[in-house]
Structure 1
Amino acid sequence: MQEFLNWTVETIREDKLLSPWLEEKKFEWAPLVSKNITNILDKSYSVLIITDKERDWFLNYILSNINSSKLNRPFLPFYDFSSFFKNLDHIKSEDDISNIKDMLQISFPNGYCFWYIGKSQDNRSTLAKITKSSFLWIFDEERQGSLNLKSNDIALDMKLLELFRLYNKTLSAALFANINVEN
């Protein structure tokens, strides 16, 4: 079983579709992904994906590819959060948040985490940012415990696709015990 950080660097260098900029993010990436994959594989968490409006295309891309039969792995519990709660843009109060959390605790007794991709100041980020177990790909804010990107980066869409490719490869490697994400 290969050590996670070394595997990540090796994968970035060997995969022709991944760019060297990812290697610069390795220390930001490794603990974030480790926590997320441990929650999924060891704690049986479900992943509720939320994006800002501009990244709705990316949400669809993730959901179309995360459980592809081409991956030859079991399907994993990734869901579009808006399929559970349509009024995400209209969360106004702590009561709204409390009611949503109650619903999710009933729906996901093993636990859940949010995967948020988008601008930090977007209203859709609220739930994810206040939930400890969230997997955050935040734009335009330097936030500890998240992957920090810039929304004005002209290569942002390509970077998101590369990050997803690396994440999906990491999921498979952890699932098939090729790496230990806890180390």
Structure 2
Amino acid sequence: MFYYLDGTVAEILPNLAVMDCGGVGYACKTTNNTLAKLKKGQRAKLYTHLNVGEGIFELYGFAAQNELNSFRLLIGVSGVGPKAALAILSVGTPETLAMAIVTGDEKSLTAAPGIGKKIAQRIILELKDKMAKETANGLDFSGGKGAAASAMFSSKAAEAAQALAVLGYSSAEVGQALKGVDVEGLPLEEIIRQSLKKMVK
């Protein structure tokens, strides 16, 4: 229903930003990372997700598209609701989430309030399974060189590509983002971070 809100930041509250768009104040639940980028009285754009259910009509807003992608990815995991997804993205970033999934790092997920070991394991398991299915489908993460991700599975480039794919980027976007990044000389986290910087406008 809403793709993004572009307006003035009217209020900043714990886990909530109120956006004034044409005289209407939209309350957007959000993460600490997004709140840190906002200033009251200044113009901003938030990419949004509308959560509608029985007696529920909640708007979520994020300063970056990849944070929204991560949020949607998390709430797609069974047992993970919007509150838990915000908690995870408030103590980490899309990069750290991607790294946690790729490396099976439960501790970075359980650092979020209310996220126990079982939920962290489920997130890693389900999202790794999602990555495996994408790899099995032969997505091309080679930047146009024609090699499928499964053929490059052992390389750092493929690991970075899988992490980025989990955040919702297409194989073409990932291939483009990895161009010019020193995939052999840099640590995996830095490859992901540099690639994300190129994709987030």
Fold in common (TM above 0.5) = no
Q: Normalising by structure 1, what TM-score?
A: 0.28
Q: Normalising by structure 2, what TM-score?
A: 0.26
Instruction: Identify which of structures 1 and 2 has the higher relative contact order when contacts are C-alpha pairs closer than 8 Å and 6+ apart.
Output: 1
Q: Which has the higher strand share?
A: 2
